[in-house]
Amino acid sequence: AHTQERRTRATAVAHPNIALIKYWGKRDENLVLPRVDSLSMTLDIFPTTTTVRLAPDTGHDIVTLNGRTAEGEPLRRIVAFLDLVRERAGSACPAVVDSENTVPTGAGLASSASGFAALAVAASAAYGLGLDATALSRLARRGSGSACRSLFGGFAVWHAGLDAATVAEADLASHAEPVLCGDLDPALVVAVVDAGPKTVSSRAAMRRTVDTSPLYEPWAVSSARDLTEMRAALLAGDIEAVGEIAERNALGMHATMLAARPAVRYLSPATLTVLDRVLRLRQDGIPAYATMDAGPNVKVLCRRPDADTVAEALRGAVADGSVVVAAPGPGARPVHE
Ligand code: 2P0
């Protein structure tokens, strides 16, 4: 009975990741195939812990997120993800999912990345799929694109699979993998200027950007060059180059959104105040570089020894907000109960 219990229940933990080269735009919505390669750093803060238990008698999936029963769109996405796992496992068994997420939900801090990374590891173990990290990354991608990068610790690149001849080949090729790095001791200082939910989901915003922004294609082309330069900068352990490339890539992504019709604008006055402060830090000789996602919060890349100085400066700039210092963190993994 004990081994049976072990096989049908699994817990996993995963951390969020922040892209230095952004994922923005899909070429296949159902398979979550992106239009660009992206590259991220997995953080050591805000973990998500998820338990999946097979529950033959419940009749349907039961999902609890931070102690509350999920419904609507969040439930639909999780059930669709479990359906993928069940299809591969040849199972029709419902599951009970219990997830504790320490990320401020919907604040542009990638709660879906840690969420679906942890769910991929826990669900595939509970249903008895023996998947390696690459296969888990590919699976997590189907839940939320950026989740595929949280399977790996530190820096990871997510291949768009653009060279593939068929959609099936692209599906196989599109997963994350670790990136080779030189001597780098980075920190990411997260300035939460607004922890409220976002006004437009990144899914809808991406679609609108791809469909209507005249700046989208030029950004996608320059992003491919950014990625090549980013790999070299990481290998060289050159934090200034890493930061410069990341900052311009993020600002370019936001420019594509601002040019969408109608515009998608996630950046707020508080965001720009923080960006001004980052510029001043650089003028004072501290290498610090900003990146922003689908929300107004700013993540500032710097050297770890400078992190406290940077955090203090940002605290001064975001009076009502909070500032958290993160370092590179581990990839998603099972928790042995
Ligand atoms: C990223 N973002 O690379 C980019 C930059 C936000 C801005 O990935 O539709 O939740 O589930 O694949 O992964 C946020 O989008 O989108 C995101 P879906 P996801 O981190």
Cβ of residue 154 lying under 6 Å from some atom of ligand 1: no
- Residue of minimum CA distance from atom 8 in ligand 1: 146
Structure confidence at residue 337 (pLDDT):
76
Q: Please list, residue by residue across 112-136, b when 16 or more beta carbons sit within 10 angstroms of its beta carbon and e when fewer do.
A: bbbbbbbbbbbbbbbbebebebebb
Structure confidence at residue 104 (pLDDT):
62
- Residue of minimum CA distance from atom 15 in ligand 1: 202
Q: What is the pLDDT of residues 5-43, one digit of tens each?
A: 457 999 999 999 999 999 999 999 999 999 999 999 999
Question: How many Å lie between the centroid of ligand 1 and the Cα of residue 276?
Answer: 25
- Asked if this assembly's ipTM is beyond 0.95, the reply is yes
- Where does a domain end: 181, 209, 240? 181
Cβ of residue 266 lying under 6 Å from some atom of ligand 1: no
Between CA 23 and CA 28, with CA 27 as vertex, the angle to 5 degrees is 110
Under the banding of pLDDT at 50, 70 and 90, the label for residue 321 is confident
Q: Which helix (H) or strand (E) holds 169?
A: helix 167-173
- Residue of minimum CA distance from atom 4 in ligand 1: 23
Same-domain check for residues 172 and 253: no
- Where does a domain end: 154, 181, 208? 181
- CA distances to 5, 143, 238 from 140, rounded to whole Å, are 24, 5, 31
Whether 337 is in a domain gets the answer no
Q: Is the pLDDT assigned to residue 158 strictly greater than 80?
A: yes
Q: What does the mean pLDDT of the chain come to?
A: 94
Section 318-332 average pLDDT: 91
Cβ of residue 32 lying under 6 Å from some atom of ligand 1: yes
Cβ of residue 13 lying under 6 Å from some atom of ligand 1: no
Whether 275 is in a domain gets the answer yes
Question: How many Å lie between the centroid of ligand 1 and the Cα of residue 98?
Answer: 23
Section 92-99 average pLDDT: 98
Structure confidence at residue 209 (pLDDT):
98
Whether 142 is in a domain gets the answer yes
Same-domain check for residues 176 and 195: no
Spatial CA neighbour of 66 closest among 94, 18, 104: 104
Question: How many Å lie between the centroid of ligand 1 and the Cα of residue 145?
Answer: 6
Closest ligand 1 atom to the C-alpha of 23?
Answer: 3
pTM summary value: 0.96
Same-domain check for residues 158 and 297: no
Structure confidence at residue 109 (pLDDT):
67
Section 144-161 average pLDDT: 98
Same-domain check for residues 196 and 177: no
Q: Which domain holds residue 245?
A: 186-326
Whether 291 is in a domain gets the answer yes
Same-domain check for residues 149 and 190: no
What is the percent of the chain where pLDDT is above 70?
95
Section 53-68 average pLDDT: 96
Cβ of residue 81 lying under 6 Å from some atom of ligand 1: no
Whether 318 is in a domain gets the answer yes
Cβ of residue 117 lying under 6 Å from some atom of ligand 1: no
Same-domain check for residues 105 and 174: yes
Whether 130 is in a domain gets the answer yes
Same-domain check for residues 18 and 78: yes
Structure confidence at residue 105 (pLDDT):
53
Residue with tokens 């004990």: 2
Side by side, the strands of the sheet bearing 322-326 are 288-291, 298-303, 186-192, 322-326
Q: How far is Cα of residue 234 from the mean position of the Cα atoms in its chain?
A: 19
Whether 100 is in a domain gets the answer yes
Same-domain check for residues 236 and 152: no
Same-domain check for residues 229 and 246: yes
Question: How many Å lie between the centroid of ligand 1 and the Cα of residue 166?
Answer: 24
Under the banding of pLDDT at 50, 70 and 90, the label for residue 102 is confident
Q: Please list, residue by residue across 51-79, b when 16 or more beta carbons sit within 10 angstroms of its beta carbon and e when fewer do.
A: bbbbbeeeeebbbebeeeebeeebbebbb
Q: What is the pLDDT of residues 232-281, one digit of tens each?
A: 999 999 999 999 999 999 999 999 999 999 999 999 999 999 999 999 99
Question: Which amino acid, 231?
Answer: R
Q: Is 190 exposed, middle or buried (0-12, 13-18, 19+ CB in 10 A)?
A: buried
Whether 300 is in a domain gets the answer yes
Same-domain check for residues 217 and 166: no
Between CA 224 and CA 203, with CA 246 as vertex, the angle to 5 degrees is 70
Q: How far is Cα of residue 241 from the mean position of the Cα atoms in its chain?
A: 22
Same-domain check for residues 201 and 319: yes
Cβ of residue 38 lying under 6 Å from some atom of ligand 1: yes
- Where does a domain end: 162, 181, 200? 181
Question: How many Å lie between the centroid of ligand 1 and the Cα of residue 176?
Answer: 14
CATH of the domain at 138: 3.30.230.10
Closest ligand 1 atom to the C-alpha of 293?
Answer: 7
Cβ of residue 146 lying under 6 Å from some atom of ligand 1: yes
Q: What is the pLDDT of residues 173-206, one digit of tens each?
A: 999 999 999 999 999 999 988 767 677 999 999 9
Question: How many Å lie between the centroid of ligand 1 and the Cα of residue 7?
Answer: 32
Question: How many Å lie between the centroid of ligand 1 and the Cα of residue 254?
Answer: 13
CATH of the domain at 211: 3.30.70.890
Q: Is the pLDDT assigned to residue 154 strictly greater than 80?
A: yes
Q: What is the pLDDT of residues 107-133, one digit of tens each?
A: 446 579 999 999 999 999 999 999 999
Question: How many Å lie between the centroid of ligand 1 and the Cα of residue 34?
Answer: 10
Same-domain check for residues 156 and 237: no
Section 286-306 average pLDDT: 97
Q: How many distinct structural domains can be found in the chain? A: 2
Residue 240 has φ and ψ, to the nearest 5°, of -65, -45
Which of 77, 202, 209, 292 should be mutated for ligand 1, with most atoms under 8 A from CB?
202
